[in-house]
Amino acid sequence: MALRLPRAALPAHIEENMIKQLGAVPENVEVTWHSPQVAQDNLEFGGKVGAWGAADAALKSYAHMAVAAQVGCGWCLDVGYFQARNQNLDLAKASQVPVWRESDVFTPLERDVMEYAEAMTNTPPTVTDAQYASLLERLGAPAMVELTAYVAFVNLATRANVANGVTSQGFSDACEIPLATRPERPGGAAR
């Protein structure tokens, strides 16, 4: 898939800052920069979401990548794995998120968080009272509220990237363990 909108030029100071942080300018930022207000607000809110600390960083990382795999956002999987490395998370686990149901490396809580993230991502959402209550009991109210808002934000980001034609930029190439890919569904779409 190709970008559906050409990259827009960013102000030099923003471009330089992104290169320092990530080693490259994210294509999703270049695409959204056609509306600088949208791009800046998205970056600001994304930064605030990333700074929340009530929910465990690893759980949020796995939830993010589970949503990205379900939606089909290669860019989000790519950068999510790169961020997992930078947060010193278990890369062997992170690499298995796209196939978490078939993998035996995840704890019951991690599996439940990924299942919850996917249930929130379904259209319409398929979150059950029992599923929510189980996570609430184990995580507590502040972390549950944060996880829910985090997954909702990730849905916004992944769906915007896919709709704009943004694909992997190779951020995860810096990681030592290859990221698992979801098996193809009949008809060629990843599940």
**Confidence grade of residue 4 (pLDDT, cut at 50, 70, 90):** very high
CA distance 63 to 100: 11
Indicate if the pLDDT at residue 191 is higher than 50: no
Residue 12 in domain: no
pLDDT of 176 above 80: no
In a domain, 183, yes or no: no
Which candidate, 162, 160, 153, places its Cα nearest to that of 48?
Answer: 153
Q: Confirm whether 79 is domain-assigned.
A: yes
Q: How many domains does the chain have?
A: 1
Is residue 119 one of the residues assigned to a domain?
yes
Q: What is the tens place of the pLDDT at every residue in 126-156?
A: 999 999 999 999 999 999 999 999 999 999 9
By C-alpha distance, which of 50, 45, 7 is closest to 26? 7
Residue 188 lies in a domain: no
Rounded to 10 deg, the angle between the 129-139 and 141-164 helix axes is: 120
We report the CATH number of the domain holding residue 101 as 1.20.1290.10
Residue with the larger pLDDT of the pair 148 and 181: 148
- Cβ atoms of 63 and 147 within 8 Å: the answer is yes
Residue type, 18: M
What is the domain range of residue 161? 53-174
| Matching residue, tokens 């009949």 | 186
- Dump pLDDT digits (tens) for 14-53: 999 999 988 899 999 999 999 999 999 999 999 999 999 9
- Identify the pLDDT of residue 86: 84
